[in-house]
Amino acid sequence: MSELVVETRSLVKHFTGLGQKPVTAVDGLNMRIERGSIYGFVGRNGAGKTTTIRMLAGLNAPTSGSARVLGLDPQRERMGILERTGFVIDRTMMPYMTGHELVRFNRGFFPRWSSEMAKRYADALEIPMDRKFKKLSHGNKTKLSLLLALAQSPELLVLDEPTAGLDPVVNDQLLRVLVEDFANDGRTILMSSHHLSEVERVADWVGIIDHGKLLLEARLDDIRANYRRVRAFGQALPERGPEIVTVSATEGVFDYVLSAGAEGFAASLRGQGATILDVTPMNLSEIFLVLVGKETHVPVEVLA
Amino acid sequence: MYLWKYWRESRIAFVVSMLCVALFAWLVFKGVWHIGHDPGSSEGPGPAGIAKMLMVSLYLQVPVFAFLAWVMGSFGVGRDLGEGSGSYLLTRPRQRWWFLWHDWGFGFVQLVWAIVLINLLIGYLVHRLLGAGGNPFGGSVMLRDMASPVLLAEIMGLNCLIIMLFAGLIFGITYFSTIAVKHARGVMLGAGIILGYLILGALIHHYWPAIELPNLIMRAFQTSPVSNEPVSLSDQLGLSLAIRAAVMLLFPVAAQVVLERSDI
């Protein structure tokens, strides 16, 4: 069994305000991330991704449940986690510091800091390092945040929506750095996003979260290989079963989404007198829409 | 490196404070001289004038350092939380208290530096005045009616301590407020707390004259109503200093408790 770098068990986070009802941001989350994987953590805005990441960083305390990062507890053993993990969460730094000053400020905290790597990424990503942080464009702020996280030579990189609001060129630059430079060394990336296409491009594991609950966690290859849509025409066909993720029926046409065993399931429907209209593979966007219960013909990127 | 960050944030305020110190020294030299100066003499202020000078210079420092401490209290983690860089800062591998006490310590050291400098200037000026007058009391100053000479070094040392405790209190309250509000705007809350205390003290004094809230400025010397009784150090001065130091430290400790328990 692979070593887990992140593991949460029944992780719950409620937010309470004076005179307000508690809001459940994370609701019994069980997440497992293997060493060396690129884990795409996807969900709609407000699904609980950022809160989960903040709990992993020790910024927020869980209401209940537990989390382990690199085998350590984020509340009690934060130092061990922060020394070995690069967190890019808000991408807002001291606005009055230049890129060079931020590099100088940062390197004192990390024993494994690589000045050579910082310089290389600054050149490769074309970051104007002598400009104050507040004067940088959104893309350059993100690139600088990533540079600082990478130069600390972490074992684990945790990125909260790193590509949000970036133009396609910068987006491509960042994803290349992450996959070709960082992950190729066998290090682990946890990347939250609501851009399913980019997750599909870089991730090998995916976790889908909605309303604080993890609806799916699987290897992307397994999802591609096993998730199928089966449409069948018949009467009184089954609506429950271990592989049935969702089912809808309209005028005798049953539309199933199955997590596995599509061929066998289709055969059993035929045995019950149904006519199989089609069995089609599904991409991540279609699975996401099915799981979060918002299936429409609007593209996921727009929904998100 | 973290201290450099605090310096980077506060250096303008610090430089301005040093300019204030220079201006203050000049005011002491020009203005306070006149207060203590005996117009009939060409040799400078007499013993009573020097005592008056010291008193005025002490109370003139109060608004200067209250303002400076209030401004300095706005720097550090509270400001970072307000500017959205809190999650970046607090994911550097240090405990939250480490950031907080470095902020507080470095800010307080800057205040102490300015306070010591200004009081050294005043002390030097008075020392020169004593020398010009023939130093009749051997480096001491007559605080009242020629009855009780007190060493100048003792007065200046106590003045430094009094102002340090006062400025530290204002600084701590303001720093705590920025952490509690998670924004540099907490300085307004800090100012509100201090003003509230002063108003409360005035109201209590008005309606219940027997009750008196502790003054924000500690009294180091006491005088008796009998004019020829010697001036002496206040009763239990050490205890009083210790209590005020504890109260001063209460605010960064409270800020630490709030910060440790906060979701960032």
Element (H, E) at B169: helix B152-181
State whether A167 and A276 are in the same domain: no
Kindly provide the residue ranges of all beta strands, DSSP E only, lying in chain B, ordered along the sequence. 140-142, 149-151, 221-222, 232-233
Residue B144 has pLDDT above 70, yes or no: no
Domain holding A164, by residue range, is 4-222
- Asked if A101's CB is within 8 angstroms of B9's CB, the reply is no
Residue reference for tokens 């400020």: A105
Q: What percent of chain B has pLDDT over 70?
A: 86
Give the mean pLDDT of B225-253.
82
Written as six digits, the tokens of B1 are 């490196």
Looking at residue B111, its pLDDT comes to 93
- 8 A C-beta contact, residue B69 and residue B167: yes
Q: What are phi and psi of B101, to 5 degrees?
A: -75, -25
pLDDT in tens, B85-103: 999 999 999 999 999 999 9
In 3D, which of A148, A289, A149 has the Cα closest to residue A216?
A289
User: CA–CA separation, B192 vs B182, rounded Å?
Assistant: 16
Written as six digits, the tokens of A22 are 């508690």
pLDDT in tens, A108-149: 899 899 999 999 999 988 899 999 999 999 889 999 999 999
State whether A206 and A154 are in the same domain: yes
Count of structural domains within chain A: 2
Looking at residue A295, its pLDDT comes to 53
User: CA–CA separation, B248 vs B72, rounded Å?
Assistant: 15
State whether A196 and A293 are in the same domain: no
Choose the final residue of a domain: A185, A201, A222: A222
Task: Please give, rounded to a whole number of angstroms, the shortest distance from the CA of B181 to a CA of chain A.
Answer: 14
Looking at residue A299, its pLDDT comes to 45
Residue reference for tokens 């019994």: A28
State whether A206 and A299 are in the same domain: no
CB atoms closer than 10 angstroms to residue B238: 8
Contacts of B199 (CB under 8 A, 6+ apart): none
Give the mean pLDDT of B104-111.
94
Nearest to A79 among B2, B9, B93 (CB): B93
User: CA–CA separation, A188 vs A79, rounded Å?
Assistant: 19
Q: Name the residue in chain B with its Cα closest to that of A57.
A: B91
Looking at residue B22, its pLDDT comes to 79
State whether A146 and A237 are in the same domain: no
pLDDT in tens, B179-197: 999 888 888 999 999 999 9
Give the mean pLDDT of B210-218.
87
Q: Between residues A17 and B31, which one has the greater pLDDT?
A: A17
Looking at residue A298, its pLDDT comes to 45
CA dihedral B237, B243, B248, B253 (to 10 degrees): 150
With contacts defined as CB-CB under 8 Å, which chain A residues touch B87?
Answer: 54, 57, 59, 87, 89-90, 92
Looking at residue A300, its pLDDT comes to 43
- Asked if B1's CB is within 8 angstroms of A94's CB, the reply is no
Looking at residue B213, its pLDDT comes to 87
Domain holding B107, by residue range, is 2-261
Residue A13 has pLDDT above 90, yes or no: yes
Choose the final residue of a domain: A197, A222, A247: A222
Q: Specify the range with the lowest mean pLDDT, choosing from A45-59, A74-88, A279-293.
A: A279-293
Interface confidence (ipTM) of the complex: 0.86
- Asked if B83's CB is within 8 angstroms of A94's CB, the reply is yes
Amino acid (1-letter code) at residue A92: T
State whether A83 and A117 are in the same domain: yes
Residue A179 has pLDDT above 80, yes or no: yes
Written as six digits, the tokens of A145 are 């945040």
State whether A68 and A83 are in the same domain: yes
With contacts defined as CB-CB under 8 Å, which chain B residues touch A25?
Answer: none
- 8 A C-beta contact, residue B157 and residue B237: no
Element (H, E) at A29: strand A23-34
Question: How far from B238 is each of B167, B224, B244, CA to CA, in Å?
Answer: 19, 20, 10
- Asked if B92's CB is within 8 angstroms of A106's CB, the reply is yes
Residue A198 has pLDDT above 70, yes or no: yes
pLDDT classification of B51: cutoffs 50, 70, 90 = confident
CB atoms closer than 10 angstroms to residue A193: 22
Q: What are phi and psi of B56, to 5 degrees?
A: -65, -40
pLDDT in tens, A15-74: 987 778 889 999 999 999 999 999 999 999 889 999 999 999 999 999 999 999 999 999
Looking at residue B97, its pLDDT comes to 95
CATH number for the domain that contains residue A193: 3.40.50.300
State whether A237 and A211 are in the same domain: no
With contacts defined as CB-CB under 8 Å, which chain B residues touch A104?
Answer: 1, 4
State whether A152 and A290 are in the same domain: no
Nearest to A59 among B2, B87, B93 (CB): B87
State whether A136 and A264 are in the same domain: no
Looking at residue B146, its pLDDT comes to 56
State whether A166 and A55 are in the same domain: yes
Looking at residue A162, its pLDDT comes to 87
Residue B84 has pLDDT above 80, yes or no: yes
pLDDT in tens, A211-222: 999 999 999 999
Choose the final residue of a domain: A191, A222, A253: A222
pTM: 0.85
Q: What are phi and psi of B179, to 5 degrees?
A: -70, -45
State whether A239 and A124 are in the same domain: no
